[in-house]
Amino acid sequence: MNIRPLTSSSVVWHHATVTRERREKLNGHKSCVLWFTGLSGAGKSTLAHAVEEHLHQRGCRTFVLDGDNVRHGLSSNLGFSEDDRRENIRRIGEAAKLMMESGVIAMTAFISPFRADRESVRNLIPHGDFLEIYCKASLETCEARDVKGLYKKARAGEIKNYTGIDSPYEAPLKPELVVETDKQSLEHSVAAVLKMLLERCVYASAYQLPR
Amino acid sequence: MNIRPLTSSSVVWHHATVTRERREKLNGHKSCVLWFTGLSGAGKSTLAHAVEEHLHQRGCRTFVLDGDNVRHGLSSNLGFSEDDRRENIRRIGEAAKLMMESGVIAMTAFISPFRADRESVRNLIPHGDFLEIYCKASLETCEARDVKGLYKKARAGEIKNYTGIDSPYEAPLKPELVVETDKQSLEHSVAAVLKMLLERCVYASAYQLPR
């Protein structure tokens, strides 16, 4: 590589030479954004982390953006108003895009209830690289799980604008994948995600579907 | 791995099993944040991208956050007021932290003129993983380069609060590295950054200093 010294006053060499394509080649797999959406309790985080474990064991670079690492960080100055929730999803979309450009299979696990917000993120990302995975489970199932105890609080009116209770969830119209987390096991859901990634040539690896 | 089916109503398996340490092991190098700071025209982006090229050729996972990919994305809804510039640096810090956690050597190339803002980012990141690199060049040199023609506009009063003209640049007091970009060649600056990374065991590779 020919690097001109910066001591010249005419230097403008500045641009990136390491591209997404070179990073993918180094990693041995493609990068993309896996966008998990669904009600609270539908199993988005659980599924994303299980998919991550499998991909990592197969040598893939991965990262899961979720409430734990985003709400205390990038979105720590946002609340839960309509505007703030929209801005939260926007920032997550931009962060996932940057991670994808860095060569990582970026996964996001947020309710992201509004179709328009998810479509905005889809439009940020090159066609085919945004894969929307709808974690479908009935409100009854999610409310019965109530892992964080938030449905109970929402029913009691202690939390406002809780998705599924007093705020709508807009199911995806054309998601790349639907996993019915109240009907199939976690292992089957993981297998369905990995099958989609194999079919889309994100990575190449023999993976046995669980019997 | 033992995955419990999500059909159980008692499922709470949710946490991340793929850690930063496992990602670093897969990559064969450590991750960190390289924070390039200095006046406009001091060569931050040029140096960061040149360092990235060298690291990539040595098999390292890298990414450069700069004005091109941040101001049109994550910070597209921010202007240049004092508050917005602070929030811009905060978001960049959080994004760099997430990238570092994903196993990437994250580099940032922003003027980031205020000591307090840079210290805030340093405090987000585990001790020793935030490496501040001061790209030191005289205002005269930077203004003479004026790659983007912005110094001229600032002198003419067409741009307000331009760092170095009518807004201060607070030089780092204890940066991990100083590169005097108006006195040393780009290759020597790159070599100084790589030497620091080798000494800190971020990666291991025989690298020949340019003669």
Contact B183 A7 (CB under 8 A): yes
Is residue A202 pLDDT above 90, yes or no?
A: no
User: Which residue intervals of chain B are DSSP H helices?
Assistant: 20-27, 44-57, 67-69, 82-101, 115-124, 139-145, 150-155, 186-199
A180 Cβ under 8 Å from any chain B Cβ:
no
pLDDT of residue A2: 39
CA separation for the pair B90, A174 (Å, rounded): 35
Q: Is B185 helix (H, G, I), strand (E, B) or coil?
A: coil
- Of the candidates A31, A75, A112, A189, the residue annotated as catalytic is A112
Please identify among residues 94-113 of chain A the ones whose CB lies closer than 8 Å to any CB of chain B: 94-95, 97-99, 101-104
Please identify among residues 25-64 of chain A the ones whose CB lies closer than 8 Å to any CB of chain B: 26-27, 43, 45-47, 49-50, 52-53, 56, 59, 61-64
Which chain A residues have a beta carbon less than 8 Å from that of B5? Answer: 185-187
Contact (CB, 8 A) for A104 and A203: no
pLDDT digits (tens, 9 = 90+) for B108-155: 999 999 999 999 999 999 999 999 999 999 999 999 999 889 999 999
pLDDT digits (tens, 9 = 90+) for A105-117: 999 999 999 999 9
CA separation for the pair B15, A211 (Å, rounded): 25
Share of chain A above pLDDT 70, in %: 90
CA angle A131, A136, A140 (to 5 degrees): 160
Other CB atoms within a 10 A radius of the CB of residue B123 amount to 10
pLDDT digits (tens, 9 = 90+) for B107-120: 999 999 999 999 99
Is-catalytic flag, B112?
Answer: yes
Please identify among residues 156-175 of chain A the ones whose CB lies closer than 8 Å to any CB of chain B: none
Q: What is the pTM of this model?
A: 0.91
Residue A148 token pair: 């964080």
Which chain A residues have a beta carbon less than 8 Å from that of B187? Answer: 3, 5
**Phi, psi dihedrals of residue B36, rounded to the nearest 5°:** -85, 125
Residue B116 token pair: 């307090």
pLDDT digits (tens, 9 = 90+) for B26-68: 999 999 999 999 999 999 999 999 999 999 999 999 999 999 8
pLDDT digits (tens, 9 = 90+) for B83-102: 999 999 999 999 999 999 99
pLDDT of residue A205: 66
Nearest Cα to Cα of residue B101 among A35, A102, A46, A110? A102
Contact (CB, 8 A) for A95 and A63: no
* pLDDT band of B5, cuts 50, 70, 90: very low
